[in-house]
């Protein structure tokens, strides 16, 4: 591969137009913002409690160190070495794997469409907290008055109370995305992540001061060592790590492509991985301290009030807020944290799609933002601001997570490790500026341990879904919005991969100047090696 | 809180938050390959 000065300069120009994070600090905060999402707050505490309490720490740490962080570094290496969105990075790795990138893009588009709805609910609940609008029965309020959920069906009956905050969320996200990688995503992360940590720390302190907090923490941390013998507990640990770290579906590939070439991606990955787990631990302490208070107030065991997901956030927590001293403050901090954590994750998900469109079609930032964001917002408003929104969301979320993210992550990892056999060059790339150095251990973890962990999670999920229909939803709903969707996404991905790249796009190997490692496949002598892009004035030129 | 729960909570904090502190320290020690003063001006 030629790395002549002319080509390198053109590549630098192309990358400058593509945009990037101005520093390592911004990248790390953006990556933490992506990883720390709703799942850290409402999923981890309950998963830990359900799977051995304090004993869950062991499989959780094993999963983090043997699968989560190694997989995170794989994503970083792919994006940082190949300097492109997920489809472009895969195309540069080997042309035939581009479809994997588009499969990831499809998954991100679907996630963005429904994830915004949950943020909109949390936004509304931040204000509900001020006057305890849910009254004496938070469950009836959430499903009845707020969501106006009726029978399980897909309807077009709009719920104005959801429509307005959802439109606001999308407006905010579109503005952030239009501002670009540094001025939009970067600055949002720089401001939001410290705010999130401070707000949640204040919530934890407030929760720890509540009577009964100790009982809640006892329920969370008391170890049940017998749980370690259960495969499902280990599967839950690997699942929590994978879902929580935002690995395997294009986000970290995309973000890593915006990082300067001379950067320590291994050290950055360790900071991101431990930050994500650190926040989960903080969330676990805060949530279970509050649940302990609720249990004591109602004279029941913590196990009877413990819940996860939507039930924890929109039913259990409002009940806690109603009964706790300074409940309004707890409510604003809790739901405000959900909004902030959700926004920083949502922008990372939608950036995967925008970045792919920009790379493939060579469009400006604003054009790509509107081309991706407006259809996503319209779909989101049509599907999730109706009386059937909660059901559609629940089904799509379950199937896209279990059989979208998990399968594409597993397939991508196996292809990179065993078909393309790219781990040695990717490891070499990480070691150019990265410390500690990655070697045989990392390759073993990434090619064997992490895929095996993912496979266990997948088999357990499949087993559960084939034993009983998910959520007791009707078969037509599970088929159309569940199974069909997860089958269509990879097919669509490989169809999109058939579309030609714009003339002059560098494929087959990392672009000139990426690192000293040789490409996996040398491009044909006549192949163009740089992108001939014309400036539109709509892009940022973040220093690289 | 039971003793076992307190021990596990402390272990979790030490391992995870301690791991984070070590990772940050390692990154600061090894990662200073470029002038970071410029970054501060550029980030915001």
- Structure tokens given for A416: 């990179």
Nearest CA in chain B to A289: B1
User: What tens digit of pLDDT does each residue of A427-471 get?
Assistant: 999 999 998 999 999 999 999 999 999 999 999 999 999 999 998
- Alpha helix ranges (H) inside A209-362: 213-221, 231-245, 251-256, 265-298, 302-305, 309-311, 317-323, 327-361
A35, A276 in Cβ contact below 8 A? yes
Verify whether the Cβ–Cβ distance A23 to B15 is below 8 Å. Answer: no
Q: How far is CA A3 from CA A62, A258, A510, A522, A523, in A?
A: 42, 20, 11, 12, 12
Chain A residues lying within 8 Å of B15, measured CB to CB: 57, 61
User: What tens digit of pLDDT does each residue of A97-146 get?
Assistant: 999 999 999 999 999 999 999 999 999 999 999 999 999 999 999 999 99
Verify whether the Cβ–Cβ distance A221 to B8 is below 8 Å. Answer: yes
Residues 6+ apart with CB under 8 A from A346: A112, A115, A116, A119, A169, A173
The pLDDT of residue B18 is above 90: yes
Contacts A–B by Cβ distance under 8 A: 107
Chain A residues lying within 8 Å of B17, measured CB to CB: 274, 278, 281
pLDDT of residue A8: 59
Q: Smallest Cα–Cα separation from A257: which of A368, A366, A359, A372? A: A359
3-state SS, one letter per residue, for A170-220: HHHHHHHHHHCHHHHHHHHHHHHHHHHHHHHHHHHHHHHCCCCHHHHHHHH
DSSP result, A431-462:
HHH-SSPP-HHHHHIIIIIHHHHHHHHHHHHH
A271, B23 in Cβ contact below 8 A? yes
Percent composition of chain B: helix, strand, coil (DSSP 3-state, to 5) = 80, 0, 20
| DSSP label at residue A238 | H
DSSP result, A56-120:
GHHHHHHHIIIIIHHHHHHHHHHHHHHTS-HHHHHHHH-GGGHHHHHHHHHHHHHHHHHHHHHHH
pLDDT of residue A515: 62
As beta bridge partners, residue A158 has A386
Restricting to B residues 1-44, those with a Cβ less than 8 Å away from any Cβ of A are 1-2, 4-9, 11-13, 15-17, 19-20, 23-24, 26-27, 30-31, 33-34, 36, 39, 42-44
What distance in Å separates the CA atoms of residue A490 and residue A100, rounded to the nearest whole number? 8
Verify whether the Cβ–Cβ distance B20 to A278 is below 8 Å. Answer: yes
Ranges of chain A with pLDDT below 50: 1-3, 517-520, 522-544
Smallest Cα distance from A396 to chain B, Å: 32
User: What tens digit of pLDDT does each residue of A10-22 get?
Assistant: 666 667 778 899 9
3-state SS, one letter per residue, for A261-274: CCCCHHHHHHHHHH
Q: How far is CA A282 from CA A209, A272, A344, in A?
A: 15, 15, 18
Instruction: Give me the mean pLDDT over the B21-39 stretch.
Output: 73
Percent composition of chain A: helix, strand, coil (DSSP 3-state, to 5) = 75, 0, 25
User: What tens digit of pLDDT does each residue of A268-283 get?
Assistant: 999 999 999 999 999 9
- Structure tokens given for B13: 């904090």
As beta bridge partners, residue A386 has A158
Residues 6+ apart with CB under 8 A from A378: none
Instruction: Give me the mean pLDDT over the B22-34 stretch.
Output: 80
Return the higher-pLDDT residue of A152 and B16.
Answer: B16
Smallest Cα distance from B29 to chain A, Å: 10
Q: Looking at the complex, does the CB of residue A183 fall below 8 Å from at least one CB of chain B?
A: no
Say whether the ipTM exceeds 0.95. no
Best residue in B13, B26, B43 to probe A by mutation, most A CBs within 10 Å?
B43
Q: Give the torsion sign (CA, A479, A481, A484, A490).
A: negative
Q: Give the count of beta carbons closer than 10 Å to the beta carbon of residue A436.
A: 13
What distance in Å separates the CA atoms of residue A187 and residue A201, rounded to the nearest whole number? 22
Q: Looking at the complex, does the CB of residue A260 fall below 8 Å from at least one CB of chain B?
A: yes
């Amino acid at each position: 591969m030629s790395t002549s000065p002319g080509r390198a300069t053109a590549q630098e120009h192309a990358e400058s137009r593509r945009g990037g994070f101005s520093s390592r600090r911004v990248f790390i905060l953006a990556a933490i913002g992506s990883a720390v999402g709703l799942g850290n707050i409402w999923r981890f505490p309950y998963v830990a409690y359900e799977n051995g309490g304090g004993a869950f720490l062991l499989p959780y740490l094993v999963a983090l160190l043997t699968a989560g962080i190694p997989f995170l570094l794989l994503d970083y290496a792919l994006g940082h070495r190949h300097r492109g969105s997920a489809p472009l990075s895969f195309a540069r790795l080997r042309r035939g794997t581009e479809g994997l990138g588009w499969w990831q893009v499809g998954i991100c588009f679907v996630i963005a469409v429904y994830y915004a709805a949950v943020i909109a609910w949390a936004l509304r609940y931040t204000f509900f907290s001020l006057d305890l609008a849910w009254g004496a029965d938070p469950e009836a309020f959430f499903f009845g008055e707020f969501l106006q959920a009726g029978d399980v069906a897909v309807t077009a009956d709009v719920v104005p109370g959801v429509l307005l905050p959802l439109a606001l969320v999308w407006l905010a996200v579109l503005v952030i995305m239009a501002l670009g990688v540094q001025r939009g995503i970067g600055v949002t992360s720089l401001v939001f992540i410290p705010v999130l940590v401070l707000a949640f720390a204040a919530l934890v302190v407030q929760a720890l001061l509540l009577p009964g907090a100790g009982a809640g923490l006892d329920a969370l941390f008391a170890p049940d060592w017998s749980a370690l013998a259960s495969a499902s507990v280990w599967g839950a640990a690997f699942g929590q790590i994978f879902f929580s770290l935002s690995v395997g579906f294009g986000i970290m590939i995309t973000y890593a492509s915006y990082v300067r070439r001379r950067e320590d991606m291994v050290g950055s990955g360790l900071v991101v991985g431990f930050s994500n787990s650190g926040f989960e631990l903080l969330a676990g302490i805060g949530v279970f301290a509050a649940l302990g208070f609720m249990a004591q107030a109602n004279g029941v065991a913590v196990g009877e009030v413990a819940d996860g997901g939507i039930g924890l956030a929109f039913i259990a927590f409002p009940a806690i807020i109603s009964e706790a001293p300074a409940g309004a403050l707890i409510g604003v901090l809790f739901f405000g944290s959900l909004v902030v954590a959700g926004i920083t994750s949502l922008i990372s998900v939608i950036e995967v799609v925008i970045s792919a469109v920009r790379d493939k079609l060579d469009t400006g930032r604003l054009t790509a933002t509107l081309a991706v964001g407006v259809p996503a917002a319209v779909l989101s408003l049509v599907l999730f601001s109706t009386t059937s929104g909660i059901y559609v969301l629940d089904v799509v979320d379950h199937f896209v997570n279990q059989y979208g993210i998990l399968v594409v992550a597993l397939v991508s990892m196996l292809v990179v490790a065993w078909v393309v056999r790219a781990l040695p060059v990717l490891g070499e790339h990480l070691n150019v500026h990265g410390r500690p150095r990655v070697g045989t251990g990392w390759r073993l973890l990434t090619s064997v341990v992490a895929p095996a962990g993912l496979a266990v999670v997948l088999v357990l999920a499949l087993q559960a879904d084939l034993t009983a229909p998910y959520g007791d939803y009707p078969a037509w709903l599970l088929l159309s919005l569940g199974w069909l969707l997860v089958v269509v996404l990879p097919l669509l991905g490989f169809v999109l991969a058939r579309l030609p790249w714009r003339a002059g796009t560098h494929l087959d190997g990392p672009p000139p100047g990426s690192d000293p490692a040789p490409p996996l496949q040398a491009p044909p002598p006549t192949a163009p090696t740089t992108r001939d892009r014309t400036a539109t004035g709509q892009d940022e030129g973040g220093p690289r | 809180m039971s003793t076992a729960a307190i021990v596990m909570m402390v272990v979790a904090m030490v391992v995870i938050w301690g791991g984070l502190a070590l990772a940050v320290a390692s990154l600061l020690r090894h990662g200073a390959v470029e002038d970071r003063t410029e970054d501060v001006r550029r980030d915001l």
